[in-house]
């Protein structure tokens, strides 16, 4: 199977002041994407492959399955068009406990077909995770599934919602209390690649930005919940993760000069990542499907690189 890769050794910092004002200076590069020749949604792995794949995922790498296709039939291909979106949200979403999509407009029969397509993707993504990481099974919870049928490039959104900026995923209203965010993506566009930037390992990023974050004020989790700003009380972990998300997106110098790579996920490619750990940004692409899972941290074999462990280490105390 694919070779194990970490990130490239740190390169010499680029001395921008010597490059002249108009010169574009390439940031140091990283190598976070690990390819694997998986061709089925329920592949059989050898024990060695399974251990290597899990170690790469938990280290914060992106597992890339260039040959794992999710073919659409001719009728389904019509859904790869932003005209099905209600225009209010950028994605068409299917919640795990609901039968009908949200964020889409169309005749009921069409929406039923669209929901069935998205459900089929959710089932495939779950089969994949359970086949690759059976030990995650008892700790895995299926969350939302989305079809993202609109071009990413050129959208006008606030900096905080701008996913073309490197970030780790964290949700303002949905505290996860350390539950991990595991996502399975598929480029369902037959023609165009989905272009991502992927950033440096979480520990390097956290070392830079954690000193700029603060803890919560006494009573803050309680009143934020009472005022329905959050769905449940926010934990210190959630509060720090959210600030890390915002600090990264707000820092244009970091966006330009942080260690990173640009990666093109070809049409028909699938990839999987802990999106609360791997810095990522979606730069271009027209149609993608995505499945989110919540994973109880008890399932993680090696916590060394997980956000909670890294933040606790840097703060010198457990973070809850």
The DSSP letter of residue 276 is T
CB contact at 8 A, 72 and 130:
no
Nearest approach, Cβ of 13 to ligand SIN (angstroms)?
A: 27
Nearest approach, Cβ of 282 to ligand SIN (angstroms)?
A: 3
* Residues 6+ positions from 27 with CB-CB distance below 8 Å: 14, 256, 257, 258, 259, 260
Per-residue tokens: 126: 């779950």
Helix, strand, coil distribution of the chain in percent, nearest 5: 35, 20, 45
Residue from the set 64, 180, 194, 239 that interacts with ligand SIN by CB under 6 A: 194
Instruction: Verify binding: residue 288, ligand SIN, rule CB under 6 A.
Output: yes
Name the segment binding ligand SIN (CB under 6 A); options: 27-35, 153-161, 249-257, 280-288. Answer: 280-288
- Closer to Fe ion by CB, 45 or 206: give it: 206
Instruction: Verify binding: residue 290, Fe ion, rule CB under 5 A.
Output: no
Name the segment binding ligand SIN (CB under 6 A); options: 13-21, 120-128, 170-178, 275-283. Answer: 275-283
* C-alpha count within 13 angstroms, C-beta hemisphere, residue 128: 29
Compute the radius of gyration of the chain from its Cα atoms.
20
The DSSP letter of residue 85 is B
Instruction: Verify binding: residue 169, Fe ion, rule CB under 5 A.
Output: yes
CB contact at 8 A, 319 and 241:
no
Instruction: Verify binding: residue 163, ligand SIN, rule CB under 6 A.
Output: yes
Residue from the set 182, 282, 309, 310 that interacts with ligand SIN by CB under 6 A: 282
- Contacting positions for ligand SIN (CB under 6 A): 148, 163, 194, 275, 280, 282, 288
**Which residues are near Fe ion by CB under 5 A?**
169
């Amino acid at each position: 199977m694919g070779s194990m890769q970490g990130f490239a050794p740190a390169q010499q910092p680029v001395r921008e002041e010597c490059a002249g004002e108009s010169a574009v200076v390439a940031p140091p590069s990283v190598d976070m994407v690990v390819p694997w020749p998986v061709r089925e949604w329920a592949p059989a792995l050898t024990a060695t492959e399974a251990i290597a794949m899990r170690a790469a995922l938990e280290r914060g790498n992106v597992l890339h399955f260039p040959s794992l296709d999710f073919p659409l039939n001719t009728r389904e291909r019509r859904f790869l068009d932003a005209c099905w979106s209600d225009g209010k949200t950028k994605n068409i979403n299917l919640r795990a406990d609901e039968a009908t999509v949200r964020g889409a407009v169309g005749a009921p029969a069409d929406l039923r077909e669209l929901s069935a397509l998205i459900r089929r993707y959710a089932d495939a993504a779950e089969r994949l995770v359970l086949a690759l990481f059976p030990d995650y099974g008892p700790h895995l919870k299926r969350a939302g599934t989305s079809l993202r049928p609109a071009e990413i490039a050129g959208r006008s959104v606030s900096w905080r919602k701008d996913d073309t900026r490197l970030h780790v995923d964290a949700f303002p209203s949905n505290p996860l209390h350390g539950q991990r965010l595991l996502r399975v993506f598929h480029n369902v566009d037959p023609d165009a690649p989905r272009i991502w930037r992927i950033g440096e390992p979480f520990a390097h990023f956290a070392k830079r930005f954690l000193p700029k974050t603060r803890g919560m004020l006494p009573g803050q989790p309680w009143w934020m919940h009472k005022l329905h700003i959050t769905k449940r009380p926010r934990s210190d972990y959630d509060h720090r993760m959210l600030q890390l998300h915002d600090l990264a997106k707000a820092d244009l110098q970091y966006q330009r000069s942080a260690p990173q790579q640009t990666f093109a996920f070809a049409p028909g490619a699938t990839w999987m990542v802990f999106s609360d750990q791997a810095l990522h940004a979606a730069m271009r692409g027209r149609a993608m499907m995505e499945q989110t899972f919540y994973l109880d941290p008890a399932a993680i074999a090696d916590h060394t690189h997980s956000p909670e462990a890294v933040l606790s280490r840097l703060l010198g105390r457990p973070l809850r």
